[in-house]
Amino acid sequence: MPKLDRRNFLRGAGALGVGGALGLGSTPFKAQAADEDRTRFLIVLAAAGGASIIDSVMAIRASESANPTTINTFPDALVQSVNGSPLRAVDLDRDSLGAIPFSFQSVQSDFVRKHYNDMMVVPTQRTSVNHAIGQRRSVTGNEIWAGRTLQELVANEFGADFAIPNAHLSSGSGFTDRGTDASLPAHVFGEPITDPLLWPLALDSSKGLSRPFDAGRLAKARALRGKLEQRSKFNQVLGEADKLKFWQHLRQEPREAVEARDLINKLLLMPQSTKFPLSEYGLAGSDAAQKARERFPLWEEDPLEAQAALAYLLLRYRVSVSVTLGPSFSVELRDGKSINDEGALLNPPIAFDFSHQGHRSVQALMWQRMYRVADGLIDLLKSEEYANGESFWDRSMIYIATDFGRTKTRPANSDEFSTGHDLNNGVLLISPLVNGNKVLGGVDPNTGLTYGFNPSTGEPDVGRTMEESEVFAGILQALGVDTSPARLPDMRAMRKA
């Protein structure tokens, strides 16, 4: 029987309140109540700037379109089909990124060939072409569940026993906005991690400092602090302030929980080096960090790889049930390189949104970045046993969230062109929990616009578009989150049979 602790109690109260408040129609989907371990992990891979679905898994061959020269179609030879799967891939070489001279190769087919059984494409019709709003709605389903985010809901459902249920490894975007439901317990809101390399140092009060501190005496000093605070007039007058009480709460059980698990050593990514002399500071790192560094070798240069490496550690050590990561809007270059150096560019300015300058090349490069990170995470999570022969990956989902789509047209026959923001698009979900090897709905090759599907059967429906709330519901339901309190629609077609 599940224990009724503070977190469970608050969770139940929050869910009950919201369900009533929404007052929506009945819902057929309800997760099974079972004593089994239902823990699931959500990885939000935030494709900031507008990842166009027709530049990856829904790419259109020129021969399929009545308007091949003016719609964003590809020469047939560039669009790969994999093992008879409906999922597509674009493989191309470029020697510039918009106006930036930069040679690179994008081979999407490697990823699709490897993971197509776990890949599902869901068309969407978004409701805003504003970056911040589109990003936020991609994780709130356009505020359908009292403004709760997917990450908060997953943390609320599965994160009660996790030290930091909802980790935000990227910052400053709508993907990591705080939801608007204040009734949720505090621990489900995102913990910001702005520097994946040094952040783990903030997981222990005294380890890794320049001089050792006796743990027993530190505990007594904390007791002394409590006594001094009791006697302080400041505390006697203002002790009921929410911020004070919350601070005092954080420095007790939550702090003890992370310190007791030695997370500072487990989550530090870097090895012993002159730059990071771990042993000099009484630190050791972990074997799993070594594994993460091998899979993400640019961890020290590319912030996205550092985020991915730490995301793996957070999941593998059961610290978090939801991690959000993504490329920044800043130019990232290899250490010591200038933008004109061969292979120097890691991340273009404004990420996917640099498609304003060079759509085809930017989409190719950025999708390659997304796939590289997703591939690394999947491999690492597959290599870790969760329990009873099940891997962490068996319980995980990668949601490549994005702001919106890109415009579908181009000047006649242009190979590089500028695109704007478009409401029409689709998202990619990768997980053993979804209806894999599937493109739900479809794309009209004559317009480049995607269309929807029947939520129950998955049959394509040319006259239908999928709402943000439907994608939101389908993600939660595939993860086993009970969506009945919010009476979300049943998206049966998005779940594994």
Partner 1 sequence: MFRNSSIIALIALAFAAGCDDKATSTSNNNTNNGVDAGGDASADADSRDPVEQILPSTNARVKFKGGQRWASQLARGLDLERSELCKEFGEYDCAADVHFIALGGVEPYNLRINEPLPNAPLTAPIAADRIALSACGLRAERDAANPADASLFKEIAAAPADEALRAMGNRLYQQLLSRDAQNDELDELVAFWADVEDAGADAASEWATFSCYAVATSTEMLFY
Interface with partner 1 by CB under 8 A: which residues?
A: 163-164, 171-173, 178, 186, 189, 191-192, 194-195, 198-199, 201-206, 208-211, 213-214, 217-218, 220-222, 224-225, 227-241, 243-244, 246-248, 250-251, 254-255, 258-259, 275-277, 281, 328-330
Tell me the residue type at 106: S
| DSSP-assigned beta bridge partners for residue 459 | none
363, exposed or middle or buried, with CB in 10 Å at 0-12, 13-18, 19+?
buried
- 102 vs 199, which CB is nearer to partner 1? 199
Of the two residues 225 and 496, which places its CB atom closer to partner 1 in the complex? 225
DSSP label at residue 331: -
Least Å distance between CB 280 and partner 1? 8
Rounded CA-CA distance 395/422 in Å is: 33
Our CB check for partner 1 shows the closer of 267 and 398 to be 267
Shorter beta-carbon distance to partner 1: residue 254 or 460: 254
* Nearest-approach distance from CB 217 to partner 1, in angstroms: 6
Please say whether the dihedral angle defined by the alpha carbons of residues 466, 467, 473 and 475, taken in this order, is positive or negative: positive
Sign (positive or negative) of CA dihedral 257, 277, 312, 405: positive
Q: Tell me whether residue 235 or residue 391 sits nearer to partner 1 (CB atom).
A: 235
Residue 180 or residue 457: which is nearer to partner 1 going by CB? 180
The CB-of-85 to partner 1 minimum distance in angstroms stands at 37
Number of H helices, E strands in the chain: 13, 20
Nearer to partner 1, 57 or 283 (CB): 283
Residue for token digits 């057929």?
A: 28
Q: Which two tokens stand for residue 382?
A: 């597959």
The end-to-end CA distance of the chain, in Å, is: 28
**220, 329 in Cβ contact below 8 A?**
no
User: What would you measure as the largest C-alpha separation in the chain, in angstroms?
Assistant: 80
Output the smallest distance, CB 258 to partner 1, in A: 7
Nearer to partner 1, 134 or 455 (CB): 134
Residue with smaller CB distance to partner 1, 50 or 474:
50
User: Dihedral (C-alpha) 457, 127, 364, 48: value to the nearest 10 degrees?
Assistant: -120
- Taking the complex as a whole, how short is the minimal distance between the CB of residue 6 and partner 1, in angstroms? 15
For partner 1, the closer of residues 91 and 195 by Cβ is: 195
Amino acid letter at 298? L
| CA 462/CA 35 separation, integer angstroms | 42
Our CB check for partner 1 shows the closer of 114 and 255 to be: 255
| 421 in Cβ contact with 404 (< 8 Å) | yes
To partner 1, the closest distance from the beta carbon of 494 in angstroms equals 32
Distances (CA, A) of 412 to 67, 118, 409, 422: 9, 36, 9, 19
Work out how close the CB of 270 gets to partner 1 at its nearest, in angstroms, rounded to a whole number.
Answer: 9
Q: What is the DSSP string of 345-400?
A: EEE-TTGGGGHHHHHHHHHHHHHHHHHHHHHHHHHHHHTSEEETTEESGGGEEEEE
Partners of 41 in beta bridges? 396
Residues contacting 252, CB < 8 A, separation 6+: none
**Which lies closer to partner 1 via its Cβ, residue 3 or residue 231?**
231
CB neighbours of 285 closer than 8 A, spacing ≥ 6?
A: 265, 268, 269, 270, 271, 272, 278
Query: Whose Cβ is closer to partner 1: residue 168's or residue 295's?
Result: 168
Q: Who contacts 222 (Cβ-Cβ below 8 Å, separation ≥6)?
A: 251
- Give the amino acid at 379: D
Q: Under a CB-based contact definition with an 8 Å cutoff, are residues 303 and 325 in contact?
A: no
Nearest to 445 by CA among 411, 410, 408, 402: 408
Question: How far, in Å, CA of 325 to CA of 310, rounded?
Answer: 10
Least Å distance between CB 229 and partner 1?
5
